């Protein structure tokens, strides 16, 4: 991520901080993606809009129950003191369903998140349910997808 987009800011910890790298900061956009508004990297917000349009078409009930616990947020991965979360580049999003968040490390996954995974996967997003420390509320643009989107926006 650092190689692709640069280091979002020099200092970080577990708190949510703003991006300070100017060329990255100017690529952050705020938009209504359907069920909510988000702030994130331009190409990620555009891709998320495509995902949400598909969810609206195929899973309208789920679409209307979706909420977000945030997209852009410069901080380390929970529990880490050196690895930046992909939220730091505005390319990851945490989702709630009917106001409920799937807690990190949980054994079970909300059925709606499984349905969402299908649509995110088609747009080249990675699901946090596959992390060693399971994080099913979390979806992030895969590095390969970011490369493609940056080269061919």
Which residue is at the shortest CB distance from Zn ion?
A: 138
Is residue 85 within 8 Å of 93, Cβ to Cβ? no
Task: Report the residue number, 12 or 92, with the smaller CB distance to Zn ion.
Answer: 92
120 binds Zn ion (CB under 5 A): no
Parallel, antiparallel or unpaired: strands 66-70 and 125-127: unpaired
At 139, give phi and psi (nearest 5°): -125, 140
Letters for 36-75 (x = contact with Zn ion by CB under 5 A, - = none) are ----------------------------------------
- 70/37 Cα distance (integer angstroms): 10
Residue from the set 102, 134, 138, 149 that interacts with Zn ion by CB under 5 A = 138
* DSSP-derived 3-state class of residue 119: helix
Which part of the chain contacts Zn ion (CB under 5 A), choosing from 7-15, 28-36, 52-60, 85-93? 85-93
Residue from the set 19, 94, 112, 134 that interacts with Zn ion by CB under 5 A = 94
Which regions of 35-152 does DSSP assign to beta strands (E)?
37-41, 66-70, 92-97, 125-127, 138-141
Task: Report the residue number, 58 or 78, with the smaller CB distance to Zn ion.
Answer: 78
Query: Given the rule CB under 5 A, which residues bind Zn ion?
Result: 92, 94, 138
């Amino acid at each position: 991520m650092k190689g692709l987009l640069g280091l979002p800011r020099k200092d970080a910890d577990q708190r949510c901080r703003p991006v300070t790298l100017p060329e990255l900061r100017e690529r952050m956009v705020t938009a209504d993606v359907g069920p909510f508004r988000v702030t994130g990297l331009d190409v990620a917000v555009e891709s998320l809009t495509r995902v949400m349009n598909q969810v609206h078409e195929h899973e309208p009930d789920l679409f209307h129950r979706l909420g977000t616990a945030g997209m852009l947020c410069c901080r380390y991965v929970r529990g880490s003191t050196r690895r930046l979360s992909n939220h730091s580049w505005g390319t990851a999003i945490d989702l709630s369903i009917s106001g409920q968040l799937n807690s990190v490390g949980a054994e079970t996954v909300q059925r709606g998140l499984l349905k969402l995974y299908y649509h995110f996967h088609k747009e080249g997003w990675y699901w946090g349910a596959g992390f060693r420390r399971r994080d099913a509320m979390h979806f992030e643009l895969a590095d390969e997808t970011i490369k493609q989107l940056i080269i061919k926006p």
